[in-house]
Amino acid sequence: MKMVEIRTLQPEEVSSAVELKVRCWQEELAGKVEHALSFEDELGFFTAWAQSEKEHEDRRILLGAFLNGQLLGAAFGSFAEETDAENAMELNGLWVEEDHRGKGISLMLLRNLIREYRTLGRDKMVVYNHHFAPSNPYYRKLHGEVIRQEKQLDGQLLVDVFLHPLDLLDRKLSEMLMKHEEGFPKL
């Protein structure tokens, strides 16, 4: 069995994660909203965002899932705004290459990310997710509670704001990963 490695992205690997984000964004919004992302703009934003954690008293974590050096998925996190939830982290993005979905990669990325934030004393996770995105049922399955909805992109896009207790989420992710290991095809 080949092992997927989950680790912090190196600065030169962030561009591959941003390319993945741009592709996944187009897929999630297909037929719902016309809003293309610019790779250059997104790369500039995430590079500056990752480098500005100290000035914002934040902890920004960028993880990648790799198999034989190939990026299969990425997860970005930060401290959540206090207005969303006290003592929480925010999932700023979770993307997996289409050919590698359904293999537990998002579960591994998310579990590693939340465990890092738990060591920093965070006990909840906030997720902003497009209401009609294919990933929306994923956050519901993980026992996320929709604490509010808001409209983004000039009112064109309905977004659910989920709140997850990290201890419950960690247990749920571990259970789901165990099921993958027992009965699902390996990479």
Element (H, E) at 136: helix 136-141
End-to-end CA distance of the chain: 7
Residues 6+ apart with CB under 8 A from 118: 166, 167, 170
Token digits of residue 81: 């705004």
Residues 6+ apart with CB under 8 A from 168: 143
CB 176 within 8 A of CB 139: no
* pLDDT at position 139 over 50: yes
- The DSSP code for 60 is -
pTM to 2 decimal places: 0.89
Residues 6+ apart with CB under 8 A from 143: 164, 168, 169, 172
Q: Which of 57-61, 66-70, 101-105, 130-134 has the lowest mean pLDDT?
A: 130-134
Task: Map residue 183 onto helix, strand or coil.
Answer: helix
Share of residues in the chain with pLDDT > 90 (%): 68
Q: Tell me whether strands 88-96 and 124-130 are parallel, antiparallel or unpaired.
A: parallel
What was the pLDDT predicted at 134?
Answer: 83
Look at the block and give the residue holding tokens 């993958």: 180
What was the pLDDT predicted at 32?
Answer: 63
What was the pLDDT predicted at 30?
Answer: 63
Identify the band that residue 18 occupies on the pLDDT scale cut at 50, 70 and 90: very high
The rounded distance, in Å, linking the Cα atoms of 181 and 43 is 34
What was the pLDDT predicted at 90?
Answer: 97
Convert the pLDDT of each residue in 145-171 to its tens digit: 999 999 988 888 899 999 999 999 999
Token digits of residue 105: 């990669």
Convert the pLDDT of each residue in 24-71 to its tens digit: 887 776 666 666 778 898 899 999 998 999 999 999 999 999 999 999
Strand partners, 181: none
What's the mean pLDDT in 71-98?
Answer: 96
Token digits of residue 35: 């809003």
Mean pLDDT of the chain: 89
What's the mean pLDDT in 111-138?
Answer: 94
* pLDDT at position 182 over 80: no
What was the pLDDT predicted at 1?
Answer: 45
What was the pLDDT predicted at 29?
Answer: 66
CB atoms within 10 A of CB 40: 9
Convert the pLDDT of each residue in 87-98 to its tens digit: 999 999 999 999
